Amino acid sequence: AQSVAQPEDQVNVAEGNPLTVKCTYSVSGNPYLFWYVQYPNRGLQFLLKYITGDNLVKGSYGFEAEFNKSQTSFHLKKPSALVSDSALYFCAAGGNTGFQKLVFGTGTRLLVSP
Amino acid sequence: ETGVTQSPTHLIKTRGQQVTLRCSSQSGHNTVSWYQQALGQGPQFIFQYYREEENGRGNFPPRFSGLQFPNYSSELNVNALELDDSALYLCASSSTYNEQFFGPGTRLTVL
The percent of residues in chain B predicted with pLDDT above 70, rounded, is 96
Query: Does the pLDDT at position B107 exceed 50?
Result: yes
pLDDT-derived band of residue B4, with 50, 70 and 90 as boundaries? very high
Q: Which of A64, A69, A57, A106 is nearest to A81 (CA)?
A: A64
Closest alpha carbon within chain B to A40:
B104
Report the pLDDT value the prediction gives residue A1, as an integer from 0 to 100. Answer: 77
Report whether A109 contacts A11 (CB < 8 A). yes
**Is A101 in contact with B92 (Cβ distance < 8 A)?**
no
Report the pLDDT value the prediction gives residue A96, as an integer from 0 to 100. Answer: 55
**Is A106 in contact with B45 (Cβ distance < 8 A)?**
no
How many CB atoms within 10 Å of residue B16? 10
Of B35, B58, B98, the CB nearest to A99: B98
Instruction: Print pLDDT tens along chain A (114 aa).
Output: 789 999 999 999 999 999 999 999 998 888 889 999 999 877 899 999 998 888 999 999 999 999 999 999 999 999 999 999 999 999 999 865 545 788 999 999 999 999
| CA B47 centroid distance within chain | 8
User: What is the full DSSP assignment across B68-101?
Assistant: E-TTS-EEEEE-S--GGG-EEEEEEEE-TTS--E
pLDDT in tens, B37-76: 999 899 999 999 988 999 889 999 999 999 999 989 999 9
Of A97, A99, A106, the CB nearest to B94: A99
Query: Does the pLDDT at position B32 exceed 60?
Result: yes
Report whether A32 contacts A99 (CB < 8 A). yes
The strand pair at A10-14 and A108-113 is best described as parallel
Query: Does the pLDDT at position B13 exceed 50?
Result: yes
